[in-house]
Structure 1
Amino acid sequence: MTHAASGSAVAVLREALTSYARTGASDLREFIALLGALPEGVSQLDEGVKIGARMAQLLTAAMVNDPLFGGTGAAVDPGELLTPPPGFRARISVISFVGLPDDQQRQTFVNQLQLALFAWIKRNPARDRPLGGLFVMDEAQTLAPSGAMTACTQSTLALASQARKYGLGLVFATQAPKGLHNRIPGNAATQFFGLLTSMTQIDAAQEMARAKGSLLSDVGRLTTGQFYAAVAGGEFVKMQAPICLSHHPKSPLSNEEVIDRAIRGVTGPRRS
């Protein structure tokens, strides 16, 4: 596709989306139907109707190939994920990737989740919420790695740089601190190191600690709940963290158990 053709497609898409948004609707299939048969006056381009029809076909193909894109199921609702149910002080929502077999699908889902989360926190400022939020991303180096860009890199960096001013805390958990995009630790006010067993990762942690004038002498021998922590501008200090009060079984659920609970809508034991 030439630059001119690409610009025309973006223009028609913007015109169609603006027209559809003014109706107050938000269904992807309805929007694709509108794009495929643009009403008169929606686009200023002479070939707007043809361009819209081609894009509608491409979007339809994307929906067929990727069930996460406009597929069936409950829409991502950050309000539900963050709001405590009646009778509880807080809510812990755990999202499993069991049903997403490859990294591309996981990254695409995380991107959609983060875009929805970012929009939600901007519409619902911290002063209007009974409880702050904390978004924890495990194995973060696979979602926003150093070097290569993924489908969710940009939304991750947007949250890393702006989420705190909207009352959302972020935790990026990784066993490969150097594998994270460099703007993530650069925006992190607090850093923690727990037990590390790989000499490569121990060396990486020691290098990061030396930059703060610290030495992690026993980071390879830490026990449960022990961490080295550093706030912005400060050195690393050793601390003992209390155990979380949320329910922790002795072993993680199997893939089959996760899928079964998802189908039945079972959330598992909770504590306030």
Structure 2
Amino acid sequence: MKFILSLLLAMISFSTFSAPKSDLWPYWNKSDDASTLVVDHQDWQQLLDQYLVSKGEYTLFKYASVSAKDKQVLANYLERLAKTDPLSLNKAQQYAYWVNLYNAITVQLILDNYPVKSITKLGGLFSFGPWGDEVITINGKTLTLNDIEHRILRPIWNDPRTHYAVNCASLGCPNLQHKAFTADNTESLLEQAAKSFINSDKGVLVNGNGARLSSIYDWFGEDFGDKPELIKHLSQYRADLGTLDGKISYDYDWSLNDTK
């Protein structure tokens, strides 16, 4: 009976999963473009330097190796971001703030629940992952990871490359970047992340004149456009995809991006 219940819950979770639509939260759509305030992301960079490693087409996180001291560094970093008013920043600083915040929270969620095989195992009883859970309070407003990605980053910046920037701690996800995002490096990191993902098998695996694409191109089709628009986007970073005209399928690996 216990096995049947577990199987039923798993089936419910996977069958009900659907990617949220881009839905602006107007409160966050403000900035001070004259602001010269700079958010320090060095603590996050320190953690990336220490625990993020490259292996083949993946970047993997050494979750099991993170020391108690560095877990506190991460907690302090997130606490400092929570006390920062992003509306007081210019747009470039804001983008880096939200992307780093999302990625750092995701790592903290895994560390708080480690060992775990997949981030999809986190969250409530009938949840597919923790994305709808309240994870941080900023300016007196409690946010979820879904809020950060789908109600702030996507609708405000309207840049499909954001999907290559935020990381869901899964092998199928575009890689967590080795560099923390900053106002100065955002454009180069987005281009690097897009090129790397689209030229990896987990991003695009060509089969004859068709291809198996990452499910992000299916889930977030509204951001990438119809098939011709999607192919145009992909071919910007991989020229051979410009003639792609066969069957397209989608796949995604939710396994944890763990060095183990």
Please report the TM-score for the alignment, with normalisation by the length of structure 2: 0.30
The structure with the larger Rg is 1
